[in-house]
Every structure is written in structure tokens, then in C-alpha cells.
Amino acid sequence: MTHIPLHGIQEMRTESRHESQETELQVSGLSCASCVARVEKALAAMPGVEEATVNFASHVGTVRHALDTPPSALVEAVEGAGYGATAIDADPHASHTADEHAAHLAAETEAQVALARRNLLFSAGLAVPTILVSMLWHPRPTWANWLLFALATPVVFVGGRQFFVNSWKALRHLTTTMDTLIAVGTSSAWIYSVYGMLRFATDSHRQSEHLYFEVGAGIVVLVLLGRYLEAGSKNRMSGAIGKLMRLAPQSAIRVDPAGDESEVPVTEVTVGDILRLRPGERVAVDGTVVSGTTYVDESMLSGEPSPIEKSAGAAVSAGTLNETGSITYRAERVGADTALAQIVRLVRRAQGSKAPVQRIVDKVSAVFVPVIIGIAVLVGIGTVLLGGSADEAMLRAVAVLVIACPCALGLATPAALMTGTGRGAELGVLVKDAEALERAASVKTVLLDKTGTLTAGRPVLTDIVPVAAMSENEALALAASLESPSEHPLARAVVRAAQERGLEIVPPSEFAAQRGKGVSGTLAGTSWSLTNPASAPGESADRIAALQREGKTVFVLHSGGRTECLFAVSDPIATHSQEAITRLQNLGIETAMVTGDNRAAAERVASQVGIQVLHAEVHPEGKAKIVEGARAKGPVAMVGDGINDAPALALADVGIAMGHGTDIAMETAGVTILRSDLRAVPQAIALSRATLRTIRENLFWAFVYNLLMIPLAAMGVLSPMLAAAAMALSSISVVLNSLRLRKFS
């Protein structure tokens, strides 16, 4: 399989985006989907901005803009809209190691959760006695009512300060947010209660009837409870990034030219440094093994369950875990250029992207709050006109304001998206963005390349057929010795087979290679040749023909005109290809092979893995035409290596790149598989479907909640406190439903 090195990806990215760049902003002060819409609108209005999206769950904004638009101008635009912003690249922690980043991220999140917890405990400590006194003591003496005032006021204006601050910022820009609904609702209950205290100051009985301090305090506590639970849930949703970041060690053992070893911070490692990797340590940077042999556990990075052997010339990736051996390796990519760093960026970008279905929600949310305020006013007026009391009118209006808070709508898509893409990263399945995820969920046909996708991607010696009295090991040792000077893939397959059997390999004293025919040489004074059947004596023709019908490449070992042994080499079926095809078909997806290989070899592979539709001897341009034809049945996914299949991958609704994370075309594929296991393809599609199903479930319940609860609040069936509880529970239910994706397997 052909791969694109990461430095090649970076060059491609620079060339394709030479007129624009992408900046990520950490946005603060977001409280609902309306806030998101306003920030996006402010950013989109900036000169040079091509696209701006803000993720409500992660509070990260992604802006594509012209090179002459500085990030500082984007920050000013967000601040002008009434919110805080910091360019993530300008973060003072940008120079930290991945592990330090993870620790910093965890500390920030914990600080936010701790602040929410303190605010909740403070408010609940005052609100609980307020509610108990109001509900259990009636009528009350005047001093008890003043006690309620003293308890409830700090809850509304200190515990609920954030609602008023954010509402004022929005009001300055003639807009509204979810916090506007909370602020108006709680302040209405408080103002009406203060009016009742002053209006009936001399009549404690009537005074008690007109006090609703417990309503404002109860609403604040319930909303704060919901946000505290959300904060903890969001931390668990974004935990995949922290888990990936923690894979990278903070230090490395550097070996100087004299052979002396010293421990240095990983930030000081430069390209070309020789590093020592001891048993039980993690690889510090991407590199190539110089000496030694070991087995490396790459499961946390790629999802590959079995440790992989690493010896001289093999690639190692930052964050992977060394098991028993000790090796030295040369640093090839460091810092932000490592595969692990690029994977972290890709996951963050996917979690911050916006699914097409979210655009409908954004349009609804942008007008939702002002419409609800209008409905609340009409409910209050209508209640009075229909003979209801002022108390009843106020309570119904407040209940409408509180119950309609669109938190659940704002969280429905990003909560599921963050959890789904994060879980995918843990499984070694990277989804480029929300749009790719939505397309992958609707795929009807999967087209698969053969070499390196359905097959292992490298030749393997499969048959040794001695013709004379020679044993298999004797023949293999001779053949491997003859082939040892050659770098041809078939020669390497023979040499590997001999090494695996522990056979002695002695280079020939004389060696000659004839292109397209084979090799010859002298071993222990005897001339030997290893050639294709056309160049060999015409013996064993039936056996040769049988091997060739199986799609294998056959060559013959002979000496002095006599055939000694037949060898056959083929690219074997990858371990789990047949199971993967079965899983795709069980998902209702049609599978087809598209390969440039000859028809006989392609038919053999197709029959073994269970593929019925076959396109063989197809050039890259022809693959693109096949993709176009398959679209008649619905969205098409193309699975390939990212170079030979580039036209088809680009044209397909979803391009899926197979391979290892160090050599993979992350920028050209909608979905990237970090392990050489075809079962990850149906797993990726199933995960996409599960994530999209969760998004739809979230949106359904969020819309149904508002459609059902607003009329109930308007009719007085729901009190303001019950409305606040229902609103908080709706948001929590959306988050918890999304968190179910963490168990996807």
C-alpha cells in the first residue's frame, strides 16, 4: 500500500490553502445556542472571514480567514459581540508538552467544575431554607418575610449574577440569550415579591400571600444544578483528547555521538537526534529504529490489539508503548509534526465542526428567545384579561420564560458529536468533520481497493514445492541466499521466509539479475538460478499452472538445467477482510472491489472475501468513473490508500484512508483508519450511524420538550420551580443520551 508521509500532507495543506488560514478561538460566556449564533454572525461579518463555526459544547470557535486578517481582529469581533475570546495558538501554554497540555486542560476543566460547585452550594444553602419557610409557614409574621428577603436576594443576584451579566451584554447589542429568560424570570419573581412586601407592609397575612422569593431562588438553584452536572458531563465527553495527549512522555533519553545517554525534556528533542527507548517506556517522538528489536503496543494510538515487532528501519510513533526490548531510534518528526499531535488536532477539529442538521437548529435558536419573551408577555396579559389575578399572570409568564430555555437544543448536536468522534479516536477511527460523519452514516455502497486494503499489501512466500530430493529448508536456504543481494519485493519475501525459519543465508560469490527473468549466482562453487517459469526448463508444468491459476507468482530454482524446487509468492488476504465484508453486508451496504490488478488475481481475492461485484484492471481515472456510476444507488464510500486511488477518494461521498497513523492521508480522506484492519470500516460506518441517530434523538426530545411544556406553563399546570427543574433535566438528558456513545464498540 502506498502512503503519504505527514510532511507531504503538510505541503499539500499549504499548497491547497495558500490564500487562507484557520484560527481556533476559545470563547467564554456562551450560555445557549443563541449565543453561538451571535458569535458566528459577528465573526462572519469580519472582512476576510470565509467561514466561522462555534461549538456550544466545547466553546471552541473555528474561523477560516484570509492571511491578512489577524487573529487579534477575530478576538475583538467576539468581544464586541459581548463575549470573551482567546486565540488558542496564542495560549501561554502553547509551548508545553502534550502531557502538560493534558494536565492544564484537566486543571482548567476541574476549576470550572469547582466554581460551578461552589456557586451551587452557596445558592442551595440559602435557597433551601427560603423554600422550606415559604412552603411550611403560612401565614408568617412580617419579620419572617424580611428573613426570606434576606435569604433569597443573595441567591438571585449573587448566585445568579452570571445570568444578569450575560443578559446585559446581550442587551447592549440588542439581542437576547437563554440567560435573558432566566434573568427576566427570576427578577420578575423577586421584584413582584418586593412590591408585595412594601404594598402590604402592615398586613403580614396578605403580605405572605404575595411573596414568591422561593420561586426566584429555586429557579437559580435548579439552573445552577443543571449547569454543574453539564460541566462534569462535558468533561467526560471531551476526555478522548486528554487521553490522547497524555500518551506522549515529557522526557526522552538522548544518545550523543560518543554513546553517552542523558535525559532531556521532549521539547528539546530535534530532528536527527538518536534516542534510547527502554522497556516499559513510551516513544517520545516519531522516528525510525536504528538498532535493536522490540515489540511496541500501538493500541492506544491506532486501536491495533497486538504488539507490533520493530527492528532496524521500522517506524515508531510518539505515544506508543515499548514492551520488552531496548532500541535506539532517530527522531524524524517532533512537536506539533508528530502523528499523535496531528491526530489530536484532527479530533479537536471534528469535535468543533458543525453537522448540516445543526444549521436548522441554529436558525430556530436565533429567533427562539425573543419569540418566547413575546409569548410570556402575551400569557401574562391574557391571564389578566381572562379574569386571572396578577399573581397568577406573573407565575405563568415566569414559568413560560424558564421552561423554554433552549439549552437542550444547543447541546443536542455538539454533545453527540463530541462523544462520537472522541470514541472513534479511541477505536482508531478518525472522522474529519461532522459533514463527513453525516455522509458516512448514509453510505449505500462501499468500493474497496485490493492491494493493501483487502490484502496484506506485501508479498509472502506461500508455497515451497521440492521437485528433486532436496528438502524444503535446503531449497529455501539456497533461494534466500541467491536473493539476498536483491531489493525486489519478491526477493524480500523469500528472504523473510528463510529468516523466520532460522535458516542460514550466505550471499552468493557471484550475482546477476536479469530484469523480468530472475537472478543467478554461485553458491559453494555451484551455479544456481532462480527464474520465472518462462526462463526455466519445462518441467512441472501442471503444478506451475495450478499455482498460477490461484493468482500466485511462481519462480523456479534450478542448477545445471535441472529443476530443484518451485516457489510461489502472493499477496495474502488480510486477516479480517472476509469478516469485514460480512459486517458491511449485514449493515445493508453493497460491496465492490475496484482494482488495477489482473482479473484472475482479483477474482481469487473477491471469491475468498465474499465480494460479488468486481472491477479489475482499472486505471485510477477509471476508478473515478466507477464511483460516479455507483452513486445511482446512493452515497458511495471509497476505501483506498490515498494516492493511487486519489481521484476516486476525492469524488466519493466519503473517502476512507486505510493504514497506519504515521503514513496516512489525513487531509484527503473524510474518515481515516489508524490500523490495518478492514473491520474498522464497518465499525466507522456503524459509529457514524449511531452518532447521527443520537443527534436525531436529542433534537427530537429537545423540540418535543419545548412544544409540550410551553403550553403547560402557559396554562398554569407547571409552576416556575417545576419548569426550572424540567428545563435542567432536559439538558442533562441530552448530555446523558450522548454519553451512551462512549460504550460503542
Q: Average pLDDT of 425-446? A: 85
Task: Starting at the earlier edge strand, list the strands of the sheet with 251-255.
Answer: 261-265, 251-255, 274-277, 327-333, 286-291, 315-316
- Tell me the pTM: 0.65
Q: Please, what is the Cα angle at 618 between 614 and 624, to 5 degrees?
A: 95
Crossing angle of helices 720-739 and 680-714, in 10° steps, is 170
CB 570 within 8 A of CB 553: yes
**Integer Cα distance of 682 and 228 in angstroms:** 37
How buried is 132 (Cβ within 10 angstroms: 0-12 exposed, 13-18 middle, 19+ buried)? Answer: exposed
CB 275 within 8 A of CB 382: no
Which residues make up the CATH 3.30.70.100 domain(s) of the chain? 21-99
How buried is 136 (Cβ within 10 angstroms: 0-12 exposed, 13-18 middle, 19+ buried)? Answer: exposed
Q: Is the pLDDT of residue 262 over 70?
A: yes
Q: Where residue 494 falls among pLDDT bands split at 50, 70, 90?
A: very high
Q: Average pLDDT of 115-132? A: 90
Question: Count of CB atoms within 10 A of residue 301's CB?
Answer: 26
Higher pLDDT, 255 or 298: 255
Which residues make up the CATH 3.40.50.1000 domain(s) of the chain? 428-456+574-683
Beta carbons within 8 Å of 363's beta carbon, 6+ residues apart: none
Range with top average pLDDT, 94-103, 511-520, 645-654: 511-520
Q: Average pLDDT of 444-466? A: 85
The pLDDT of residue 106 is 59
The answer regarding whether domain 460-570 maps to CATH 3.60.15.10 reads: no
**Integer Cα distance of 344 and 673 in angstroms:** 14
Q: Is the pLDDT of residue 413 over 80?
A: no
> What burial letters (b/e) apply to 8-26, b meaning 16+ CB within 10 Å?
ebeeeeeeeeeebeebbbb
Question: Count of CB atoms within 10 A of residue 516's CB?
Answer: 8
The pLDDT of residue 15 is 37
Q: Where residue 236 falls among pLDDT bands split at 50, 70, 90?
A: low
Q: Average pLDDT of 35-40? A: 81
Q: Where residue 9 falls among pLDDT bands split at 50, 70, 90?
A: very low
The pLDDT of residue 360 is 65
The pLDDT of residue 463 is 92
What's the N-to-C CA distance of the chain in angstroms? 27
Three cell numbers written together for 260:
553517552
**Integer Cα distance of 467 and 568 in angstroms:** 14
Q: Phi and psi dihedrals of 640, rounded to 5?
A: -160, -160
**Percent of the chain clearing pLDDT 90 (strictly above):** 20
Q: Please, what is the Cα angle at 283 between 281 and 284, to 5 degrees?
A: 110
**Integer Cα distance of 159 and 224 in angstroms:** 8
Q: Is the pLDDT of residue 275 over 90?
A: yes
Q: Which residues pair with 565 in a beta bridge?
A: 466, 557
The pLDDT of residue 659 is 63
Q: Is the pLDDT of residue 406 over 70?
A: no
**Residue 525, CA atoms < 13 Å, CB-side half-sphere:** 0
Q: Which of 416, 394, 445, 713 is nearest to 590 (CA)?
A: 445
- For cell 412586601, the residue is 197
How buried is 470 (Cβ within 10 angstroms: 0-12 exposed, 13-18 middle, 19+ buried)? Answer: middle
Beta carbons within 8 Å of 678's beta carbon, 6+ residues apart: 448, 453, 454, 574, 576, 577, 580, 581, 639, 658
pLDDT tens digits, one per residue of 620-645: 667 778 888 888 888 999 887 655 56
Q: Which of 79, 395, 397 is nearest to 209 (CA)?
A: 395
Query: How do beta strands 286-291 and 429-431 pair?
Result: unpaired
Q: Where residue 521 falls among pLDDT bands split at 50, 70, 90?
A: very high
| Catalytic residue list | 449
Query: Is the bond into 139 cis (omega within 30 degrees of 0)?
Result: yes
The answer regarding whether domain 249-336 maps to CATH 3.40.50.300 reads: no
Higher pLDDT, 332 or 9: 332
CB 259 within 8 A of CB 274: no
CATH architecture of 428-456+574-683: 3-Layer(aba) Sandwich (3.40)
CB 43 within 8 A of CB 69: no
The pLDDT of residue 698 is 87
Q: Average pLDDT of 429-438? A: 81
Least confident of 322-336, 403-417, 422-436, 516-530: 403-417
Question: Count of CB atoms within 10 A of residue 485's CB?
Answer: 15
Tell me the chain's radius of gyration from C-alpha atoms. Answer: 34
Rounded to the nearest integer, the mean pLDDT of the chain is: 80
Beta carbons within 8 Å of 657's beta carbon, 6+ residues apart: 640, 641, 642, 649, 664, 665, 666, 668, 669, 671, 672, 673
Q: Is the pLDDT of residue 276 over 70?
A: yes
Q: Average pLDDT of 647-674? A: 68
User: Alpha carbon 485 to chain centroid distance?
Assistant: 45
Question: Count of CB atoms within 10 A of residue 628's CB?
Answer: 12
pLDDT tens digits, one per residue of 133-173: 887 887 889 999 999 999 999 999 999 998 888 888 777 77
Q: Is the pLDDT of residue 664 over 90?
A: no
User: Alpha carbon 628 to chain centroid distance?
Assistant: 28
User: Alpha carbon 17 to chain centroid distance?
Assistant: 22
Least confident of 55-69, 178-192, 464-478, 662-676: 662-676
Query: How do beta strands 315-316 and 460-466 pair?
Result: unpaired
**Percent of the chain clearing pLDDT 70 (strictly above):** 82
CATH topology of domain 21-99: Alpha-Beta Plaits (3.30.70)
